[in-house]
Structure 1
């Protein structure tokens, strides 16, 4: 199994690290065959609160054909998240994963580029729900039926509504890529 985690500028650290931690525990402690590859538009991505990550591959070096799932953490507008999250290269990559019915998992506003790509039109999803639910209204403008629940699954797409859901999304994605049993082992080992 190969998971591609896309980081846009201004990504939220906890939303990114949940995927790394969960998949890392699964691989290291439970021999799950999952390789996690970090991707960005550039070789170095500066996230919210000036956390820098050197990615494994730039977006030009990846294809949906080579991965089983795509994860997109959300981020902060104040740190330039939408400058890269709405980049056409990412939107096209999202469309490729969706056309192959591969898992796409997002946390918080990571759902917005998925909405903008068009693959959520007429489908159920959620995104950041606090501060007047402004981000949910933006997602709705992309033709999405908003479900105000912590985690929403519609076919091959997982969305969630705030940073607190990060580990829930990562564990659910692990379950979809492996099994309920494997996910439960990892969840219990991590103390959830």
Structure 2
């Protein structure tokens, strides 16, 4: 069973956490949601607050060695808060040093730039981040998913199927037959 860590906080894009989580769990992944504090975090959906999800562990308690991959949902609010947290940035760097898949969608590639791991990498993101990523040394493209080494990036919620499939491929996850 593959263990995937999702790091998010209030203001995560609802679909970018919930849909990949559900798709990965359907295929047998064990998902852990980490945040800055215990309790619940609330998503952002259609210009308003969305659903809340329980936090399993705080980022202070996380060891990257316990997980096979890292998933970073976007939303404008979520990554902007997270990129100011040294523990979060260090965890991203730890996953990168271990060459484990790091999947970041929409505004979440801001976190990759903050962790200084995009230089020379092909990435994509929400359009407003592309200059930031170029300034951090990335080769920015406009496509539904960009995979370069252990980095997997996508632009927006419409890209979730390709984004999730790329993460599954990176972890060599096979779909579990319904009658298994």
Q: TM-score range by the shorter chain?
A: 0.7 to 0.9
TM-score if structure 1 supplies the norm length? 0.82
Counterpart position of 1:105: 103
Contact map agreement 2:147 2:166 (CA 8 A) in 1? no
- Identify which of 39, 42, 51 aligns with 2:37: 42
**SS in structure 1 opposite 2:12?**
coil
**CA-to-partner distance for each residue in 1:47-94, whole Å, 9 max, x for gaps?**
2132322211110111111100000000124xx641224322111100
CA RMSD of aligned residues (A): 1.8
Pair 1:152-2:146 in alignment: yes
Q: What does residue 136 of structure 1 align with? A: 130
Q: Distance in 2 between matches of 1:111 and 1:84?
A: 11
What is the aligned length? Answer: 172
Between the aligned partners of 2:30 and 2:64, the Cα distance in structure 1 is: 14
Q: Do the aligned residues in 2 keep the contact of 1:9 with 1:81 (CA within 8 Å)?
A: no
Partner Cα separation in structure 2 for residue 85 and residue 8 of structure 1:
11
Q: Is the 8 A contact 2:101 2:150 kept in 1?
A: yes
Structure 2 unaligned blocks of 5 or more? none
**Is 2:158 aligned against 1:164?**
yes
TM-score by length of 2: 0.88
- Relative to structure 1, the CA distance from residue 144 to residue 86 in structure 2 (aligned partners, 3 Å threshold; closer, same or farther) is farther
- Distance in 2, matches of 1:175 and 1:122, equals 22
Which position in structure 2 is the counterpart of 1:15?
Answer: 16
State the distance in 1 between where 2:110 and 2:91 align.
Answer: 14
Partner-residue secondary structure (3-state), 1:37: strand
Q: List alignment gaps of at least 5 residues for structure 1.
A: 28-33
Deviation at 1:152, TM superposition (A): 0.3
2:169 paired residue number: 175
Q: Please give the secondary structure, in 2, of the residue aligned with 1:47.
A: strand
Distance 1:99 1:81, change over 3 A: closer
Superposed counterparts of 1:82-93, under 5 Å: 82-93=80-91
* Greater per-residue helix proportion: 1
